[in-house]
Structure 1
Amino acid sequence: MTGPVQVLVVGFDEPTYSGEVLAELTRLEAAGLVRLVDLLVVARTAGGELEIVADERLPAGSGELAVEVLTRAESEPAPADEDTATWSLADAVPAGGTAAVALVEHVWASPLRDAIRRNGGRALDETWLAPDDVALLERLEHDRS
């Protein structure tokens, strides 16, 4: 069974393509924590159009799954019984920006998700804390220790 899959969109002001980010994802995959389902690099023109950025360092076919899933998700309306906000990759990448889009399966979270479901629960929302909020959290934890 597939674990929770995150769409991770990381912006780069001046991408260097050193391979360090892909190496870290590969390390996490080897540790059994995540599975890199797909990786796509896109650029958004000043006019707002998204373009796929080709990179010979990525395996052949990289980005194909992400493109299919994300474009289908953007074009299909949410079921009437779901109160979900519409998400768009084009909205996530600023005009003139470049981004890596990773579909990351959180393998470690599958047992937790299954336990939640067995107990009648379901995910309502998820987000990452903003850097300023993480800094605040770190200060608060430090003050309590």
Structure 2
Amino acid sequence: MTEYAYGPVEILLLGFDGNQPRAALREALADLVVEGSIRLLDLLLVSVDETGGISSAELEDGADGYGLGGLVLAASGVAADEDILEMAAHLAPGTSAALAVIEHTWARQLASALAESGGYVIHTDRIPAPVVNAALAELAD
């Protein structure tokens, strides 16, 4: 069987108030890594100042200062400058976000089996959790 070293990868831009993620977000991310649901390939903190200037900091460059010490990246540097600029375009001036590149480890076996059988992904969409929850709550009413 085809054995992939990595499953599907997703780049997430996680906005938050202030200049660093709160403890709940940090803990949730760490828990997902520890339980093996995701592999954290890269993580940066991206900020846009009031004049539109973009800055970013790699996890290694100050993880402890951001409350993210202890997280180990599997492929630091995989988020390219183009990725950072593209994602920063979604941020309003004076805001910050975490840019997380994650591997969906749960899907690695499925991707391997799909490739082995000659199949391939034709299309994928991700529906954000707030949208799913609102739609299903509306259906339940």
TM-score in same-fold range (> 0.5): yes
Structure 1 residue 42 corresponds to structure 2 residue 16: no
- Stretch of structure 1 that moved more, 123-132 or 111-120: 123-132
Separation in 1, partners of 2:69, 2:28: 16
Separation in 1, partners of 2:111, 2:138: 30
What residue number does 1:71 align with? 81
In the TM superposition, what is the alpha-carbon distance from 1:119 to its structure 2 partner? 3.9
Cα pair 1:35 1:106 within 8 Å, conserved: yes
Cα pair 2:9 2:103 within 8 Å, conserved: yes
What residue number does 2:14 align with? 10
SS of residue in 1 equivalent to 2:89: helix
Cα pair 1:48 1:90 within 8 Å, conserved: no
Cα pair 2:79 2:101 within 8 Å, conserved: no
What residue number does 1:136 align with? 135
Q: Which runs of 4+ in 1 moved over 6 A?
A: none
113, 116, 119: which is aligned to 1:115?
A: 113
> In structure 2, do the counterparts of structure 1 residues 17 and 11 end up closer, same or farther at CA, with 3 Å as the change threshold?
closer
Higher strand share: 2
Separation in 1, partners of 2:90, 2:113: 32
SS of residue in 2 equivalent to 1:69: coil
Cα pair 1:49 1:90 within 8 Å, conserved: no
Q: Which runs of 5+ in 1 are unaligned?
A: 75-86
Cα pair 1:26 1:36 within 8 Å, conserved: no
What residue number does 2:97 align with? 99
Separation in 2, partners of 1:16, 1:90: 15
Percent identity, aligned pairs only, is 28
When normalised by structure 1's length, the TM-score is: 0.68
In the TM superposition, what is the alpha-carbon distance from 1:38 to its structure 2 partner? 2.1
> In structure 2, do the counterparts of structure 1 residues 127 and 10 end up closer, same or farther at CA, with 3 Å as the change threshold?
same
In the TM superposition, what is the alpha-carbon distance from 1:29 to its structure 2 partner? 1.6
What residue number does 2:55 align with? 51
Separation in 1, partners of 2:135, 2:82: 38
Q: Which runs of 5+ in 2 are unaligned?
A: none
When normalised by structure 2's length, the TM-score is: 0.70
Separation in 2, partners of 1:123, 1:94: 33
